Copies of this chain bind each other. A is one copy, B any other.
Amino acid sequence: MQNTPVTLKYLAEKLKMSISTVSKALNNYPTINEFTKKRVQDLATELHFTPNKSAINLKQGRSKIIGIILPNLLDHFFTRSVYGLEQFASKHGYNVIISQSHDSLEKEIQSANMLLQTRVDGLIVAISKHTQDFSHFNEFEKMGTPVVYYTRNPSFNLSCHKVLCNTFQGAYQATKFLIERGHQNIAYLGGPKMISFTHDRFNGYIHALKDHGIPFSAELVAYTDFDKESTITAIKNLFSSEDKIPTALVAFKEPILFDAMKYLRSVNHPNFQQLECIGFGNTSFISYFNSPPVASIEENPESVGENAMKLLLQLLNRNIETNDYQKILVDCKLVVH
């Protein structure tokens, strides 16, 4: 036996007043008598009245929901960014729906459609690895729903709002730090070339070298595709050179660094114990290592998330014009262990 649902109508009948009075009382309209308000609000809490969001959304044409599409929730970067996103959103009366694309374009499109149907007020996206075409996000713009891209940078010439890690600066700092510790042979282990910020990071490394008068050596650079095998191949290459043996290493991402370390340790590489490394990420597990790395490049994911949400809400409130495309860079911070 289902209870009759507690709606405005039901409250109105109980109180022998009109639905609109009840509605306005609950929404604290100034034209409603204080005594009436109290009567209504008391009954509402007594009967646990819970406004139906669907009805409100339908009527108001806005959902107070922000959609988030991101590759996955296993990567701590994203979960930490969600923290920032959610916190900022809820402080401003918005809820958040998170949808994982699992780095598949197809799932990303599905997610986009789902969020379109939900009529989210805005969208924040970290695109999947394979996203080259952005037409599935066009509908949002057409409906006047602002979209902010974060972390994963859509192809450079697409006019859009973006919030990114200042990954150039991160790599620069890390390299500089290692130089200042006296290293000359600093290797760079880069990520997949298809990821937008791969180049920025590499540039940070290069510029740091140049600014400190250290010649660039191609033998000290290798790339991995994230998988273990290619990381090992890359690390083999880096350490196979005759004259230039790295004494320090800047890595694209800490898990890559871990794989690399594990390999060097397993082959008992003579330089392993002295090697000083820095990776992007600042994983919580890093402190459990007894050998390198010496520092981490903290990308401040919470701040990235918060900035993305902040920008989105500014677009929603029309504090920023839709076509006044913004690019926000969030600085990295070198954390020395």
Contacts and interface: CB of A to CB of B under 8 A. Distances in A.
A73 B298 CA distance: 19
Given A82-B73, A144-B2, A118 B265 contact: no
A49 to B, nearest CB: 10
A320 to B, nearest CB: 18
Contacts of A95: 97, 114
> How many copies make up the complex?
2
A218 interface: no
Interface string A244-268: 0000000000010010011001000
Secondary structure at the A interface, as helix, strand, loop or mixed, is helix
B290 A52 contact: no
A21 interface: no
A76 interface: yes
A294 interface: no
A265 B63 CA distance: 53
A202 to B, nearest CB: 25
A306 to B, nearest CB: 15
B79 A74 contact: yes
Contacts of A100: 83, 86
A75 to B, nearest CB: 9
Given A98-B98, A142-B3, A288 B50 contact: no
Interface in A102-118: 113-114, 116-118
B119 A53 contact: yes
B116 A50 contact: yes
Contacts of A5: 143
A158 interface: no
Interface string A47-77: 0101111110110000100000000011010
A54 B119 contact: yes
A237 interface: no
Contact-residue size bin, chain A (C-beta under 8 Å from the other chain)? 35 or more
B76 A113 contact: no
Nearest to A287: B262
A139 B54 contact: no
Given A52-B119, A54-B119, A100-B86, A73 B79 contact: yes
Given A79-B79, A80-B74, A288 B54 contact: no
Contacts of A50: 113, 116-117, 139
A285 interface: yes
| A86, A143, A288 — most chain B CB neighbours (10 Å) | A288
Contacts of A52: 58, 117, 119
A289 interface: yes
A110 to B, nearest CB: 8
Contacts of A262: 287-288
5 contacts: A3-B142, A53-B119, A54-B119, A86-B100, A262-B287
Top 4 A-B pairs, shortest CB-CB distance:
A54-B57, A285-B285, A54-B58, A73-B79
Given A73-B82, A83-B100, 9 more contacts: A3-B142, A3-B143, A48-B139, A54-B119, A74-B80, A74-B83, A79-B79, A95-B114, A262-B288
